[in-house]
Amino acid sequence: MNAPNLLHLPCTEVVRCYPYLADFFSAHGLPLPAGSLSLGDYIDSLDADSLENQGLDRIALVARLDGFIAQMESFRAEGARKLGKVTLVGGHDKSGRGEEVRVDLRPGDVVCVVGPTGSGKSRLLADIECLAQGDTPTGRHILIDDAPPSESARLSGEQRLVAQLSQNMNFVMDLSVEEFLQMHAESRMVEGIDAMIERIFTTAVDLAGEPFTRDTPVTALSGGQSRALMIADVACLSASPIVLIDEIENAGVDRRRALELLVREEKIVLMATHDPLLALSGDRRLVIRNGAIAAVLETSAEEKAGLAHLDRLDRRLAALRDQVRRGERICFDEGLFLNEP
């Protein structure tokens, strides 16, 4: 339904059907429409001077209201839409040689992007983010469910495929953990906001290993806690189907469990990492060389089997880290690297 059709409905009815309108009116500094008054009468009753201070008149307000409802409904539809796969169709490398690959990415896939600095990892991710259509320096194409995205969807910036998690990111809002999650959940228009907040909060505490409370200001969280909250939030609330992770190995969180969480939430996980434990936890590795994907390595059976060893080593190292943290001495006896910690 669009705004002109709403004008004859009572305000209470309109606000009940479109709860996000409360935000719209408060963003424009207008009182919340209420009561049996029709929306049209409410708009007629607004003071022309105070509308003008907002750069509006009644007609412009109705037009904006209309645009807002259309946008919110398309957000809602977008949230409900299930993405089947994203396909990356090769372009060419920095010397113009063809990149003969076609990579399908499906929800739950974990793909590592590997290669030296300057090889073109960021470019690859940028191509996905801007839904490249042969118009980026690499000549790649990105398909969504086997079709190119519409040019208008692309230009409006509505469809954000990639959510990003990196070491350089910080919280800058002056809010508590709970307020922060509330605000994000509202903007995503999820139903059952309280349950969602609780789920993300407990997941984040679990990942962080060091407890914090819902009242903790997000800016006061430790590095590990912030990362844990960001990961839990992206897994459960982000609109984007692809999660790009950069240098999670130093994040101070349980990185394998973080990965499991993202997979469980049906994200496509792209990781720029050279950490063997993480790389082998993935299904594939895209090897980038000279600006193009030079190879796609499926994680082999042997590598998968070796993962158990790596895991043991990793836990051993974690145990040593804990010992150092507790102020203990480390004893280099024969069993140090062999025994289960």
Partner 1 sequence: MKLVTVAGPPSSGKTSVILRLAEGLRVQGLKVGVVKFDCLSSDDQQRYEKAGLPVKTGLAGGLCPDHFFIANIEGALQWGQKQGLDLLISESAGLCNRCSPHLHPILAVCVVDNLSGVHTPRKIGPMLKTADVVVITKGDIVSQAEREVFAFRVRQVNPRAAVLPVNGLTGQGSLLLQRHIENAPEIDSLAGERLRFSMPAALCSYCLGETRVGKDCQIGNIRTMDFS
Which residues in this chain contact partner 1 in the complex, by CB under 8 A?
23-24, 27-28, 54-55, 64, 67-68, 70-71, 75, 122, 126, 129-130, 135-136, 154-158, 160, 163-166, 168-174, 180, 183-184, 187-188, 226, 230, 233-234, 237-240
User: Residue 283, by phi and psi: left (phi above 0), alpha (psi -120 to 50) or beta?
Assistant: alpha
103-131: string of b/e by CB count within 10 Å (b at 16+)? bebebebbbbbbbeeebbbebbbebbbeb
Both tokens of residue 169? 């990111």
The smaller minimum CB distance to partner 1, of residues 75 and 107, is found at 75
∠ CA 324-328-331, nearest 5°, is 95
The smaller minimum CB distance to partner 1, of residues 245 and 280, is found at 245
The smaller minimum CB distance to partner 1, of residues 123 and 285, is found at 123
Minimum Å distance from CB 53 to partner 1? Answer: 9
Both tokens of residue 102? 């076609």
- Assign 160 to helix, strand or coil: coil
Minimum Å distance from CB 326 to partner 1? Answer: 31
The smaller minimum CB distance to partner 1, of residues 156 and 222, is found at 156
Closest CA to 284 of 206, 250, 293: 293
Minimum Å distance from CB 204 to partner 1? Answer: 12
Both tokens of residue 97? 């040689």
CB 205 within 8 A of CB 229: no
Q: What is the residue type of 270?
A: L
Q: Which residues contact 105 (CB under 8 A, 6 or more apart)?
A: 85, 86, 87, 88, 111, 242, 268, 270
The smaller minimum CB distance to partner 1, of residues 35 and 118, is found at 118
Minimum Å distance from CB 142 to partner 1? Answer: 12
- Assign 88 to helix, strand or coil: strand
Minimum Å distance from CB 182 to partner 1? Answer: 11
Q: Which residues contact 143 (CB under 8 A, 6 or more apart)?
A: 86, 87, 89
∠ CA 257-262-263, nearest 5°, is 95
Both tokens of residue 83? 């993405």
The smaller minimum CB distance to partner 1, of residues 173 and 305, is found at 173
Minimum Å distance from CB 55 to partner 1? Answer: 4
The smaller minimum CB distance to partner 1, of residues 236 and 280, is found at 236
Minimum Å distance from CB 319 to partner 1? Answer: 31
The smaller minimum CB distance to partner 1, of residues 170 and 300, is found at 170
What does the alpha-carbon distance between residue 169 and residue 171 come to, in Å, rounded to a whole number? 7
Minimum Å distance from CB 238 to partner 1? Answer: 6
Cα 290 to chain centroid distance, Å, stands at: 28
The smaller minimum CB distance to partner 1, of residues 38 and 226, is found at 226
Minimum Å distance from CB 336 to partner 1? Answer: 39
Both tokens of residue 43? 């708009």
CB 281 within 8 A of CB 307: yes
